[in-house]
Amino acid sequence: MYTRRWFFDELAHAGREHLDPHYVAAYDGKAGTDVVEEVALLRDLGLNERSMLVDLGAGTGTLALAAAPHCRRVVAVDVSRAMLDMLNTKAVRLGMANVECVQAGFLSYEHRGEMADYVYSRNALHHLPDFWKALALERVAGILKSDGILRLRDLAFACDQDEVDRVIENWLASAAERPDKGWTRAELEAHLREEYSTFSWLLEPMLERSGFEIRQTSYGTASVYAAYICAKHRS
Ligand SMILES: C[S@@+](CC[C@H](N)C(=O)[O-])C[C@H]1O[C@@H](n2cnc3c(N)ncnc32)[C@H](O)[C@@H]1O
């Protein structure tokens, strides 16, 4: 299917900035992501030295590299060459030989070898419109072992349509003042215009229809982020 002319162009929708080495070089400072709790959560869910984890839309590898010492193999997948070059540089510096980088997208990644125990994805799925999200999630289920775990975090609106204006204005009001400190109002507005954050109440049926049982859901206080622990149904 990937060769069809009507297929979604993941690179064209990856966000121009994510392909830019200068932006990528400053990304970790801007994002300021602390993954300690996420790694602890994965370990609570059973991640161990026998596990294989795939991180989809891995970016500079903050989660992939923090999880790698606790598992056997990590595959970090991203459409952006610049992101993967940064991830690879960090992996080499840290001496992490069990992290493999693959340049591909949710829709084009071809998983090889054993099925994954865990799939992780943070703040990346919103680069796909809903039709393609649904197809991507079905592909994610295809990567995982039966009972395997998907930890999905993304920008998703946990509110009704008539609350959108209020929720978004509150979110924009909390934006960073400077781009090196986080996402500014202009960047969040561009996200809303150009990317595909959806409603949590659309995303959840997509997960279920793709073969997942949602075991835990949490929405940030601002109702603009959703985080799920999902288990692939036994086949
Ligand atoms: C906001 S960053 C998040 C990176 C990382 N997951 C994190 O939490 O720091 C979004 C990432 O998704 C990647 N991306 C965009 N579209 C993608 C797609 N269709 N498939 C895989 N990765 C994609 C971008 O290149 C970028 O690295």
* Beta strands in 1-90, from DSSP E residues, in sequence order: 52-56, 73-78
Owner of token pair 């960073």 = 176
- Give residue 56 CA to ligand 1 midpoint distance, Å: 7
CA-121 nearest atom, ligand 1: 6
Domain regions of the chain by residue span: 16-232
- Give residue 14 CA to ligand 1 midpoint distance, Å: 7
Q: Is the CB of 84 under 6 A from ligand 1?
A: no
The tokens for 145 are: 């072992």
The predicted-structure confidence for 10-66, as pLDDT tens digits, reads as follows 999 999 999 999 999 999 999 999 999 999 999 999 999 999 999 999 999 999 999
Task: For the domain made up of 16-232, give the CATH fold.
Answer: Rossmann fold (3.40.50)
First CA to last CA distance, the chain:
24
User: Confidence class of residue 142 from pLDDT cuts 50, 70 and 90?
Assistant: very high
- Strands 225-232, 144-157: parallel, antiparallel or unpaired by DSSP? antiparallel
Pocket probe mutation, ligand 1, options 8, 38, 80, max atoms within 8 Å of Cβ: 80
pLDDT greater than 70 at residue 1? no
Residue type, 210: S
Q: Whose CA is nearest to atom 13 of ligand 1?
A: 57
